[in-house]
């Protein structure tokens, strides 16, 4: 029986590949990957549904947790003229989705030395002059699977407000879907990354505890401990890990301290 003929109510094996055994009680729905129809359990994410259908991700999958931006997907739904966007690892399949994976989208990335850069908006403008090709169509924002207000941060950069742009773009996972939809051909996500680097290095107030910790690391405070850990075998490391002091789940915020403070 081909997949096109399948009767989902009675057929157990509905797709090709290693994961073709239908979970008990699962209902299947049709989806289309590169134009070919597959029957997949309705509860799966796009990524798992594709694996269920026999695809193997060599690229276009990373964290599987909605963080790394490796799995952007564009899809259409039956009877719906709109393009939809999502992360394959987060978006649950719907009947008759037509899917296209975009694991990489080519976009200009400026080369710079963050140590030498002048922390002002003009530096960003000089490295990415295409910023001013933005026509404010807002397609970038509509394409963002993270709900980032892409057009707003691009506007903030043009207006010279690096701090606002850094805050607005904080949830960007660099998937590139914004750039794929931009008629001005901006690489929004690379521009935002530069802005956050400038903000983090030069503008954001420095955390005192972080400065102190870096100083301690550089002074060699932890060298002996690390050396000691490196000498341990797997069993010793596992024992140390399992027996470590752990913060109680319900400890009021900021109140817990381990008894052994030598690693702090």
* Residue ranges in contact with ligand FES by CB under 6 A: 61-64, 66-71, 87, 89
List, edge to edge, every strand of the sheet that includes 28-33. 36-41, 28-33, 97-101, 72-76, 84-87
Nearer Cβ to ligand FES (50/134): 50
If the CB atoms of residues 3 and 90 are measured against ligand FES, the closer one turns out to be: 90
Nearer to ligand FES, 66 or 184 (CB): 66
Q: How many CB atoms lie within 10 A of CB 170?
A: 13
- Smallest gap from residue 172 Cβ to ligand FES (A): 12
| Identity of the residue, 64 or 158, whose beta carbon is nearer to ligand FES in the bound complex | 64
**CA neighbor of 174 nearest in space, from 150, 138, 208:** 150
Q: What is the four-CA torsion angle of 21, 25, 29, 34, rounded to 10 degrees?
A: -20
The strand ranges marked E within 116-201 are none
CB of 63 to ligand FES, least distance (A): 4
How far, rounded to the nearest angstrom, does the alpha carbon of residue 146 sit from its chain's CA centroid? 9
Contact 179, 105 (CB under 8 A): yes
- Closer of 63 and 251 to ligand FES (Cβ): 63
* Contact between 83 and 74 (Cβ < 8 Å): yes
Give min distance, CB of 57 to ligand FES, in A: 8
Phi, psi of 31 (to 5 degrees): -130, 165
**Smallest distance from ligand FES to CB 62, Å:** 4
Q: Answer whether 178's CB lies under 8 Å from 143's CB.
A: yes
We find the least distance from the C-beta atom of residue 173 to ligand FES, in angstroms, to be 6
Output the smallest distance, CB 45 to ligand FES, in A. 9
CB closer to ligand FES out of 30 and 60: 60
Residues whose CB falls within 8 Å of the CB of residue 218, separated by 6 or more in sequence, listed in order: none
Closer by beta carbon to ligand FES, 89 or else 194: 89
CB of 72 to ligand FES, least distance (A): 8
Query: Quick check: 57 and 47 in contact, CB under 8 A?
Result: yes
Q: Which two tokens stand for residue 69?
A: 């931006």
């Amino acid at each position: 029986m081909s997949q096109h003929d399948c009767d989902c109510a009675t057929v157990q094996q509905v797709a090709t590949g290693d994961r073709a055994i239908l979970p008990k009680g699962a209902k299947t729905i049709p989806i289309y990957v590169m134009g070919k129809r597959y029957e997949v359990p309705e509860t799966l994410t796009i990524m798992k549904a594709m694996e269920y259908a026999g695809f193997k991700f060599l690229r276009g999958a990373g964290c599987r947790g909605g963080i790394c931006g490796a799995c952007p997907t564009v899809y259409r739904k039956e009877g719906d003229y709109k393009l939809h966007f999502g992360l394959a690892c987060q978006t649950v399949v719907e009947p008759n989705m037509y899917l296209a994976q975009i694991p990489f989208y080519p976009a200009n990335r400026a080369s710079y030395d963050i140590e030498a850069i002048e922390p002002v908006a003009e530096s960003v403008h000089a490295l990415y002059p295409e910023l001013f090709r933005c026509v404010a169509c807002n397609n970038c924002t509509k394409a963002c699977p993270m709900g980032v207000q892409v057009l707003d941060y691009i506007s903030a950069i043009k207006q010279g407000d690096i701090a606002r742009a850094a805050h607005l773009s904080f949830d960007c996972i660099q998937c590139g879907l914004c750039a794929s939809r931009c008629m001005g051909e901006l690489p929004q996500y690379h521009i935002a990354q530069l802005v956050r680097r400038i903000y983090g290095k030069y503008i954001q107030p420095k955390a005192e505890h972080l400065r102190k910790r870096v100083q301690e690391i550089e002074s060699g405070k932890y060298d002996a401990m690390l050396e000691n850990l490196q000498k341990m075998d797997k069993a010793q490391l596992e024992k140390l890990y399992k027996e470590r002091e752990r913060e109680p789940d319900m400890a009021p915020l900021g109140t817990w301290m381990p008894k052994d403070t030598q690693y702090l």
